[in-house]
Amino acid sequence: MKNQRLGRLVLAIFPLQGHTTPMLQLGNVLHFKGFAITIAHTRFNPPNPSKHPHFNFLLLSDNLPYSDTSTTPTIYDIEGINRSCHAPLQEFLELQSQTADVPVVGIIFDSIMYFAATVAHHIKIPRLVLMTSSAGFEQTFRAIPRLLEEGSLPFQDSMLHELVPDLSPLRFKDLPVSNNNMNETLKLNDIASNMKTFSAIILNTIDCLEQSSMLQIRQHYNVPVFGIGPLCKVAPTLFTSFLEEETSCIGWLNNQRAKSVIYVSKGSLATSDENELTEIFWGLANSDQPFLWVVRPGSVSGSEWTEVLPKGFKEVIGERGLVVKWAPQKEVLAHSAVGGFWSHCGWNSTMESLSEGVPMISSPQFFDQKVTARYLTYVWKVGIELDGVLERGDIERSIRRLMTGMEGDEMRHRANELKQLIDDSILEGGSSYNSLNDLTECLLAKNLPEP
């Protein structure tokens, strides 16, 4: 480990699993590069300091009216969080600038924690944004104000399958907005409008995977853009889960045939209702494939866990299926028994799957998931689209297509080619490897632009 006195970086985390994980991974990588790291976090879903003894932590009071600190903030909380966290971060940095022997050389903030850019500007230090989703999503999100202005939102139901002008290959149905909820769309518009000024942009992606979107981001912002992903590979051994991982499922996987298991997870936010859970269960049961299924506690409305499944469901699946509350997902996807991932298409899950050459069934629910699903199925061609109302027959057919058909074999082949590209990008001389070095050098040389 190099000495830790190259400078301190303050990393402002947004308190959702899919945002916290890549930021902690980035912190680990930059710590290894020689920086001291302070993680600035809210009261909600705080990272566990005992799992990251090499970081310092700064609690920012968010003033949200929830007493349960594992509450999931919604997009309606984002503005309040940004307002409340501003003063504590500014006070901390002002104190640091007078007293600290390791100077703060930059703030890296989650794009949703845009208040940090204003604070950094005030303190006169570089403000780097970490975009925790894909480059394709950034481009789409940035287009929301334009789409509203042009009157393209909300769109007519008849336009669902039409391509969105200037956002090819996305169709209207792939946009990260809820078409029937204009309040939410307007909130997203506010957030998009607040994300403007950065000294540099860091993306958890790989240049060769998202060439065109990366180019457009570079052209639009005209600041350094670092594609340093996949962070799950660049910083692999980090513990970041809010929930406890059921590691015993690895023992079950050890007893399955190579590439035979479909892994099923909807990530940390997406939910189901009773009917959907039942359809998923019968789809899995009827597919005749071994499956490892994550049902997150509280993810089914009106139920704590799997109570709504038919009585005796365990006998129906026998040894062929395993249901867990939370899995060690990266380990699962790296396991030789796993041949497919039925996913909600969160960006971390997608990166984790592609990094292991595992093709996917895409069932996006909201926001960036819809954009990513389109890239998976239409651009990278490593995913089968399964969206809308989930029904057991469609589920069974999709699983068979992916796990036993020729189409699935072809996708697995393409997914392996992508894995190779990803592996190459993080090796010496690869694009992510070089970008990470460039990022480190820019921070050390203090030559990031002042936008």
The verdict on 110 binding ligand UDP (CB under 6 A) reads no
Helices (H), 100-181: 115-123, 135-142, 144-149
Region of 48-56, 343-351, 380-388, 428-436 interacting with ligand UDP (CB under 6 A)? 343-351
The verdict on 346 binding ligand UDP (CB under 6 A) reads yes
Reference 348, options 241, 212, 230, 436; nearest CA is 230
The verdict on 329 binding ligand UDP (CB under 6 A) reads yes
Shortest distance in whole angstroms from residue 326 CB to ligand UDP: 4
Number of H helices, E strands in the chain: 17, 13
Burial of 183 (0-12, 13-18, 19+ CB in 10 A): exposed
The alpha carbon torsion through 365, 20, 191, 265 (nearest 10 deg) reads 0
Nearer to ligand UDP among residue 330 and residue 412 (C-beta): 330
Reference 35, options 449, 450, 439, 451; nearest CA is 439
The verdict on 349 binding ligand UDP (CB under 6 A) reads yes
Candidates 294, 323, 337, 448; binder of ligand UDP (CB under 6 A) is 294
Beta bridge partners of 262: 291, 340
Shortest distance in whole angstroms from residue 125 CB to ligand UDP: 29
The verdict on 347 binding ligand UDP (CB under 6 A) reads yes
Candidates 27, 224, 227, 267; binder of ligand UDP (CB under 6 A) is 267
- In whole angstroms, what is the distance from residue 339 CA to residue 351 CA? 16
Q: Which of residues 233-252 bind ligand UDP (CB under 6 A)?
A: 241
Nearer to ligand UDP among residue 287 and residue 369 (C-beta): 369
Contact at 8 Å (CB) between 147 and 164? yes
Interface pattern 1-30 for ligand UDP (x via CB under 6 A): ---------------xxx--x---------
Region of 34-42, 159-167, 188-196, 341-349 interacting with ligand UDP (CB under 6 A)? 341-349
Burial of 416 (0-12, 13-18, 19+ CB in 10 A): middle
Beta strands in 166-250 (DSSP E): 200-203, 225-227
Region of 78-86, 165-173, 188-196, 324-332 interacting with ligand UDP (CB under 6 A)? 324-332
Residues that bind ligand UDP (CB under 6 A): 16-18, 21, 241, 265, 267-269, 294, 326-327, 329-330, 346-349, 352
